[in-house]
Amino acid sequence: MDASLLGFLIALAICAIIVIPLGDLLRKHPVPFYAVAVIATVLYVWAISSGVNLTAVRPLTVMMQRGYLASIMLAVVMFCGCFDEGTPIRKKLQPIRGELSILSFIFILAHLWSYLPNLLMHFDRYMSARGNIAFSTITALVLTVIFAVLAVMSLRVIRTNMNTRIWKNIQRFAYLMVLLLAVHIAFALGKSAFANPGSLAMLSFASYMVVIAVYAVLRILKYRRDSAKKQAS
């Protein structure tokens, strides 16, 4: 099986385990989960920076490099908001949305470390010769700032002590983050995807865009349902 596909499946399994059987434990005791995520990220960064031979664990390194685990966790956080209050899936996911958001941010740092140092070092060259890569780097930096702010706002100590309205207004930047994510993917994968139909780049590009499009549709439908309920009341 292809290492990329296997890495994605491993990420999917890890996220499912954290959300379903370990969800209550994550809600009650999130710090050990954060610690494991930090350790895994640091080990990955150390390994790729030290030139360690990682062939034996290639699916795991691909999972970290391409941000699969971070992306899946972020998708769970975002799609949770598409379900109505009181539905089983919303009741299951809502209590751990903040914790999953923080875990997602920690894991995305591994993805950033895999690409950003080289991209920033040769940014001028990319800007002149490969503009799409340069612009994907710019959007990645903006995304990182927004994601960092949202992750900090998701810390329980801040959630419980901040004014609810202010906190919710800041969290709305998540919608901007989704839009910028689509732009980032378009710049990073679009050119290679359309130049090589049927390639892994095309599959990755199409998969990300379909997920983002489905989220947008579901979120709009949720907004319309909420608006109808407010008018009815």
Give me the pLDDT at residue 1, please.
67
Average pLDDT, the chain: 90
Longest Cα separation, the chain: 62
Q: How far apart are CA 72 and CA 122, in angstroms?
A: 30
Tell me: pLDDT of 107 over 80.
yes
- Structural domain count of the chain: 1
Confidence of residue 43 (pLDDT cuts 50, 70, 90): very high
Domain that holds residue 69: 3-232
Tell me: pLDDT of 112 over 80.
yes
CA-closest candidate to residue 223, choices 110, 53, 83: 83
Residue type for position 122: H
Please give the residue that has the higher pLDDT: either 47 or 54: 47
Q: Is the pTM of this model over 0.85?
A: yes
Give me the pLDDT at residue 125, please.
73
Confidence of residue 221 (pLDDT cuts 50, 70, 90): very high
Q: How far apart are CA 98 and CA 119, in angstroms?
A: 30
Confidence of residue 195 (pLDDT cuts 50, 70, 90): confident
The answer to whether 2 touches 71, Cβ cutoff 8 Å, is no
C-alpha distance from residue 139 to each of 16, 65, 76, 114, 153 (Å): 29, 18, 22, 16, 21
Tell me what percent of the residues of the chain surpass a pLDDT of 90.
62
Tell me what percent of the residues of the chain surpass a pLDDT of 70.
97
How do residues 48-67 score in pLDDT, each as one tens digit? 988 888 888 999 999 999 99
